[in-house]
Structure 1
Amino acid sequence: MIHNLSDVQSKSIGEGTNIWQFCVVLPNAVIGHNCNVCSHCLIENNVVIGNNVTIKSGVQIWDGIIIEDNVFIGPNVTFTNDKSPRSKQYPDEFLTTVVKNNASIGANATILPGVTIGEFSMVGAGAVVIKDVKPHSTVVGNPAREIIK
């Protein structure tokens, strides 16, 4: 289901995926099966989203971001793709950020470019992730640090 108040230009959207109102999905984005993209999201061109992914409201997924299967992305999570942004000056290639299978990212977390968030890891709400997150770990804070459960 693609809501009639969204602008979805991609034809590469899997069966059973819902895209709600006020979303923009650019033409080269790839979105898997059974995903839920909540309202007010932007998905750029050089993006791959796996199956069974939940993207809550207010998330922008920029070029160079790969999201694997069964990932949860909380409301207003902020991804970045340029370590040295300047107006009207673009890198030849954006850094790749990967969110691995079954990872969860809490509301309002910020993910800097070029990091990998490991399988089954948890990023706490409001965390600022500046380096890779190990599989099966939980990180919180600014900068995000691993905590023991």
Structure 2
Amino acid sequence: MPSIHPLADVAEAEIGEDTRVWQYVVILRGARIGRNCNICAHTMIEGDVVIGDNVTVKSGVFLWDGMRVEDNVFIGPNATFTNDPMPRSKVYPDRFRSITLRQGASIGANVTVLPGITIGEHAMVGAGAVVTKDIEPYTVVAGNPARVLRSLDHD
């Protein structure tokens, strides 16, 4: 059974066993969150968001409709995900562009990810990076714009 703080605002959503939802979290109707996740204070998850198992979402993160977060992903505090490449007040695109975080990816604090990006399996994005294009699996990136620093060993 999930643990939901009494000061969280959780609509009808699918939340997995042993997931912890902390105070001042807003989860909209239809969201799907896996098992053993940690959804920290001051986060918001829209209804068409799917989060896998063992995911950590630190404080100050908003996950917009269409985002897909696979298992074992870490999202650092105040990471920003965008879904509109040409935002204007009261002007909405026909379709928002989603972001995908593949299994085991780690997103550092204050990272900004532009619309339509996929971050590969076990990739690491350094704090403060601005991600303007897809990140390959097992790659470490940092900077503005994010640039490859090195590859990670993997089997």
| Residue 37 (structure 2) aligns with | 35
Correspondence for 2:23:
21
Shift of residue 10, structure 1, vs aligned partner: 3.0
Q: Which runs of 4+ in 1 moved over 4 A?
A: none
* Residues 1:136 and 2:128 are matched in the alignment: no
1:148 Cα deviation from its structure 2 partner: 2.2
Asked if the contact 1:20–1:37 (Cα under 8 Å) also holds between the matched residues in 2, the reply is: yes
1:145 aligns with 2:142: no
Q: Is 1:46 the counterpart of 2:48 in the alignment? A: yes
> How far 1:144 sits from its partner (Å)?
0.3
Measured on the aligned residues, the alpha-carbon RMSD in Å equals 0.9
Quote the offset at 1:65 in angstroms. 0.8
Using the TM superposition, give the Cα deviation of residue 124 of structure 1 relative to its aligned residue in structure 2, in angstroms. 0.2
The two structures have a TM-score, normalised by structure 1, of 0.97
Aligned to 2:97, which of 92, 95, 109?
95
Q: Deviation of residue 53 (structure 1)?
A: 0.1
What is the CA distance between 1:64 and its match in structure 2? 1.6
Q: How many residues align?
A: 149
Counterpart residue number, 1:115: 117
Deviation at 1:87, TM superposition (A): 1.1
Match of 2:61 in 1: 59
Structure 2 Cα separation of the partners of residues 19 and 89 of structure 1 = 33
* Partners of 2:13 and 2:27 within 8 A in 1: no
Aligned equivalents of 1:40, 1:109: Cα separation in 2: 17
Extract unaligned runs of 5+ from structure 1. Answer: none
Q: TM-score, normalised by structure 2?
A: 0.94
The percentage of aligned residue pairs carrying the same residue is 60
Shift of 1:11: 2.8
